[in-house]
Chain A
Amino acid sequence: MARHTALYELHQSEGARIVDFGGWEMPLSYTSQIAEHHAVRRLAGVFDVSHMCIIDLSGARTREFLRFLVANDVDKLTRRGKALYTCMLNESGGVIDDLIIYFLSDSWFRLVVNAATRDKDLLWIRRHAEAFGVAARERADLAMLAVQGPQARALTASLLAPADAAEALALLPFFGSGVADWFIARTGYTGEDGFEIMLPAHTATRVWRALNALGVVSCGLGARDTLRLEAGMNLYGNDMDETTHPFESGLGWTVALEPAERRFIGREALASVKAAGSQRELIGLVLEERGVLRSHQKVLAKDGGTGEITSGTFSPTLERSIAFARVPSGVHARVQVDIRGRLLAARIVKPPFVRAGKSLVS
């Protein structure tokens, strides 16, 4: 049985092309995926991301629990409202999910996990939370909108009362705060400035329409995917999963092996990988010829090593194809990609490809 967000009827009435995403019927695009992409790079777009799962953790030992549960160190969160991006690992260091954790108070942290993994995540979290006396509550009463783009913050704030608007506009990057009946965070998945807003589900349609009236463009998951890949951000299930560890997924920067005395799930496995050196790495590719890189295409290095595209697309900003690929470590020259039986040249670049509307690729 397909799941729907509170905005499903709006998506249908807007004529969105609907696709299945991890069991959820979600909008792929409303008009043109490329036009929606450019709207976010140039002005502002709004995405329904209510299919993602908001989980509130509460209990006196919540911080201690999270320091055990995830690979990044929640002790980096010293100021209220600050967010942390992290992986949640299994014992062998495979990625169960990637998530954002907001520090709201010493006994209250908020997690945002992926849609397709919500059920297994909740089971995993609850299984380990019990020993710490921590309760996990799924916030199905909330919807989540991502408003992204150079004008996103100003336009969103104009919907708020002056004092609330000022508070929202004062948020630093990667901070969130309760503002009126919203939880508003300066986070996103596009490489642009903007907000992610968690709000009572029954108000989501009204807010969406109000944003549209200000010129904020309705955007689907298609544009979300091209934007996040240009921004060099991983997609769970494509770029990492339970069979891959963070060091071969471009996520080594999210693993906190220091302090050495912190125990967390997957630590031993990751420490061995780190000591031996990861056999594989995730790299960025720009296709030098015409065509589109797509996941599962084979990558061939000059020395005979082979790898695979994990995410690939046409970049509307660069007007050429870009990708992430998992390849043997130390492939530093050009590679070839097998696209429908033809070997095409691709150049290795360090992601992100685009940040704040500007190409970072020469």
Chain B
Amino acid sequence: MSNIPADLKYTKSHEWVRELPDGTVEIGITDHAQHELGDLVFAEVPEAGRLLTAGEACAVVESVKAASDVYSPLAGEVTAGNPALAASPELINEDAFGRGWLLRLRPAGATHGALLSAAEYAALTSAEGF
């Protein structure tokens, strides 16, 4: 059974969002998503300074099985891509909500309302039959 931390927000496309104290957010893919993909072998993350719109493809995670786009849950400016993933993409498998984060973003506006709560995301993944 996938782990779904209560303090994060989620998207239907299996990204998570963590609000950081400095007003930026951290973004990754969920434990459910990494489990579906299997062993990750590459991750391509955006560079700081890139401007993203909500729903824009901003990263690629590639497993032995498949390549998958990651969509930015929010509009904003990238403040960092996770530098550890180039050498250790398996961090996404091992710690999807922690060391496997993909990017950090300074949101352009307060649009968090469109995101799912942990309970809503849990309902979504169980409806998908996993």
Residues of chain A lying within 8 A (CB to CB) of residue B38: 17, 28-29, 32-33, 222
A290 touches B64 (CB 8 A): no
Q: Given the known A-B contacts A29-B38, A33-B38, are A292 and B93 also in contact in the complex, defined by CB atoms under 8 Å? A: no
B64 touches A222 (CB 8 A): yes
B67 touches A290 (CB 8 A): no
Name B's interface SS.
strand
A249 on interface, CB distance cutoff 8 Å: no
Q: Give the CA-CA distance A87 to B65 in the complex, in Å.
A: 28
A47 on interface, CB distance cutoff 8 Å: no
Q: Give the CA-CA distance A17 to B62 in the complex, in Å.
A: 18
B67 touches A32 (CB 8 A): no
Residues of chain B lying within 8 A (CB to CB) of residue A314: 41-42, 62, 64
B39 touches A292 (CB 8 A): no
B42 touches A222 (CB 8 A): no
Residues of chain B lying within 8 A (CB to CB) of residue A290: 42, 44
A349 on interface, CB distance cutoff 8 Å: no
Q: Give the CA-CA distance A21 to B36 in the complex, in Å.
A: 17
B67 touches A340 (CB 8 A): yes
B58 CB to nearest chain A CB (Å): 15
Residues of chain A lying within 8 A (CB to CB) of residue B41: 34, 292, 314
Q: Give the CA-CA distance A291 to B65 in the complex, in Å.
A: 12
B64 touches A33 (CB 8 A): yes
Per-position 1/0 for A301-318, Cβ under 8 A of B: 000000000000110100
Q: Give the CA-CA distance A29 to B35 in the complex, in Å.
A: 11
A222's contact among B44, B62, B65, B93, by CB below 8 Å, is which? B65
Residues of chain B lying within 8 A (CB to CB) of residue A340: 60, 67
Per-position 1/0 for B79-101, Cβ under 8 A of A: 00000000000000100000000
Residues of chain A lying within 8 A (CB to CB) of residue B44: 290
Residues of chain A lying within 8 A (CB to CB) of residue B39: 32-34
A190 on interface, CB distance cutoff 8 Å: no
A226 on interface, CB distance cutoff 8 Å: yes
B125 CB to nearest chain A CB (Å): 16
B42 touches A291 (CB 8 A): yes
Per-position 1/0 for A261-281, Cβ under 8 A of B: 000000000000000000000
Residue of A nearest to B69 (CB): A340
In chain A between 184 and 231, which residues have their CB closer than 8 angstroms to a CB of chain B? 222, 226
B67 CB to nearest chain A CB (Å): 6
Residues of chain A lying within 8 A (CB to CB) of residue B62: 291-292, 314
Most buried by B among A226, A291, A313, A316: A291
Q: Give the CA-CA distance A340 to B65 in the complex, in Å.
A: 15
A226 touches B64 (CB 8 A): yes
B1 CB to nearest chain A CB (Å): 11
Residue of A nearest to B60 (CB): A340
A34 touches B42 (CB 8 A): no
Q: Give the CA-CA distance A313 to B63 in the complex, in Å.
A: 9
Q: Give the CA-CA distance A294 to B64 in the complex, in Å.
A: 10
Per-position 1/0 for B29-40, Cβ under 8 A of A: 000000000110
Per-position 1/0 for B19-33, Cβ under 8 A of A: 000000000000000
Residues of chain B lying within 8 A (CB to CB) of residue A29: 38
Per-position 1/0 for A84-95, Cβ under 8 A of B: 000000000000
B120 CB to nearest chain A CB (Å): 26
Residues of chain A lying within 8 A (CB to CB) of residue B67: 292, 294, 340
Most buried by A among B38, B44, B65: B65
In chain B between 86 and 130, which residues have their CB closer than 8 angstroms to a CB of chain A? 93
Q: Give the CA-CA distance A313 to B42 in the complex, in Å.
A: 12
Residues of chain B lying within 8 A (CB to CB) of residue A33: 38-39, 64-65
Q: Give the CA-CA distance A158 to B124 in the complex, in Å.
A: 49
In chain B between 52 and 78, which residues have their CB closer than 8 angstroms to a CB of chain A? 60, 62, 64-65, 67
Residues of chain A lying within 8 A (CB to CB) of residue B65: 33, 222
Residues of chain B lying within 8 A (CB to CB) of residue A291: 42, 62
Residues of chain A lying within 8 A (CB to CB) of residue B64: 33-34, 222, 226, 292, 313-314, 316
Residues of chain A lying within 8 A (CB to CB) of residue B93: 32
Supply 13 A–B pairs (Cβ within 8 Å), ascending by A.
A32-B38, A32-B93, A33-B64, A33-B65, A34-B39, A222-B38, A226-B64, A290-B44, A291-B62, A292-B41, A292-B62, A313-B64, A314-B64
**A-B pairs with the 7 shortest C-beta distances?**
A314-B41, A34-B39, A314-B64, A33-B39, A292-B62, A33-B64, A32-B39
Known: A17-B38, A292-B64, A313-B64. 4 other contacts (CB 8 A): A34-B41, A226-B64, A292-B41, A292-B67
